[in-house]
Amino acid sequence: MSTPRADGFYMPAEWAPQSQVWMIWPERPDSWRSGAKPAQRDFLAVIRAIARFTPVTLCTSAVSFVVASDALADDSGVRVVELSNDDAWMRDSGPTFLIDGRGGLAGVDWDFNAWGGDEGGLYPTWDVDALVARKVLQMERVRRYATPGFILEGGSIHVDGEGTLLTTEECLLNPNRNPNLGREAIEGMLRDYTGAEQVIWLPRGLDGDETDGHIDNFCCFVRPGEVLLSWTDDANDPNYHYCREALAVLETSTDARGRRLAVHRLPLPAPIHAILESEGGAEGIEPDEHGNPPRLAASYVNFLISNHGVIVPGFDDPMDAQALAILRRLFPENEVVMCPGREILLGGGNIHCITQQQPRP
């Protein structure tokens, strides 16, 4: 029973070369409205955007295999494979790929409880999702490190590939994940399974994020020593405080190489709200205690870096253009492509949440 660290493996940064990106076809009627058709249309746009830079593997249920395969039959660089799932969040149910810098590739198969299990988890059973990472790794004939009993979703961590890991206390210290492990034990697992030397803990993620504050919807690395933080100057937005709280942590942190972090800010779009089931939304979407549709955790930070591309969600929001301009400035060597993100957001996440990159070792 070795660990990735003991075997020389670590999680590379997202900007490291990738051999493919994994995704899952959306279907679940309590996540995706209108038979998932609007979401499927936008997933196709994301797939095609990524495929310009990196081959894509799209996993589907047996039921959807033909429809998805036919839709993508003319898209070179995209393959469709059968792989059962409970929902489409490959970032969280998929493996975390590792490299060893000597041509080796491996993957972590984290235990999975649908973002909280019986204490706030997002669906009643998740046993099919819990096998996704193993199936992906076996399909690639890639060595698998499982962490039975240790719950983690890929969207709750970001790394710089140089020893620094960014996460949130709200998620990783949440008693609905690993109630018997404290901060130190969890840091130990992160070190052993991602190669991190230094863990930077933001107190929480974006307001209303049903993942319990995944970092990938709030803050990410853009290169070693530089992070990008979601931001609002609207003092009435609950995120106003969360952003400043995070900024304070980031500005006083050093990374694993001893660097002070440069913090860039990426504005939030204007508030976007769920669509109630009664108004055409997904099954079970109900008003909040004031009778209003709940606000969704919309964020431009939920983008994917994939080889020479950066695929970022847009929201048909006036802020879209500003977000694009910031990302183009921050990624001058990449092509930044904005894809429709509103339907994916309605399902509960965005482009980073529905993708999982496989590094090219």
List helix spans (H) across the chain.
37-51, 65-71, 90-93, 132-139, 169-172, 183-194, 238-251, 320-330, 342-347
Amino acid identity of residue 297, one-letter, is A
Compare residues 54 and 217 and give the one whose CB is closer to a second copy: 54
Minimum separation from the CB atom of position 77 to a second copy (A): 9
In the complex with a second copy, the residue whose CB is nearer, 230 or 356, is 356
**Measured from the CB of residue 66, what is the shortest distance to a second copy in angstroms?**
7
**Is residue 329 exposed (0-12), middle (13-18) or buried (19+ Cβ within 10 Å)?**
exposed
Would you tell me which residues interact with a second copy (CB under 8 A)?
55, 62, 65-66, 69, 79-84, 128, 131, 134-135, 138-139, 141
By annotation, the residues acting in catalysis are: 353
| CA pair distance 190, 150, nearest whole angstrom | 11
Closer by beta carbon to a second copy, 79 or else 265: 79
Contact 159, 11 (CB under 8 A): yes
- What amino acid occupies position 117? G
DSSP-assigned states of every residue in 171-189: HHT-TTT-TT--HHHHHHH
Distance CA 252, CA 273 (A): 34
Q: Which residues contact 74 (CB under 8 A, 6 or more apart)?
A: none
Nearest-approach distance from CB 196 to a second copy, in angstroms: 28
CB of 131 to a second copy, least distance (A): 7
Nearest to 250 by CA among 202, 209, 322: 202
- CB burial of 43-62 (b: ≥16 within 10 Å; e: otherwise) equals bbbbbbbbbebbbbbbbbbe
Distances (CA, A) of 5 to 125, 131, 351: 32, 23, 29
- Smallest distance from a second copy to CB 128, Å: 7
CA 46 to chain centre: 14
**Closer residue to a second copy (CB): 62 or 235:** 62
Q: What would the DSSP string read from start to end of 195-207?
A: --SEEEEES--ST
- The smaller minimum CB distance to a second copy, of residues 46 and 136, is found at 136
- Select 34 or 61, whichever has its Cβ closest to a second copy: 61
- Output the smallest distance, CB 61 to a second copy, in A: 9
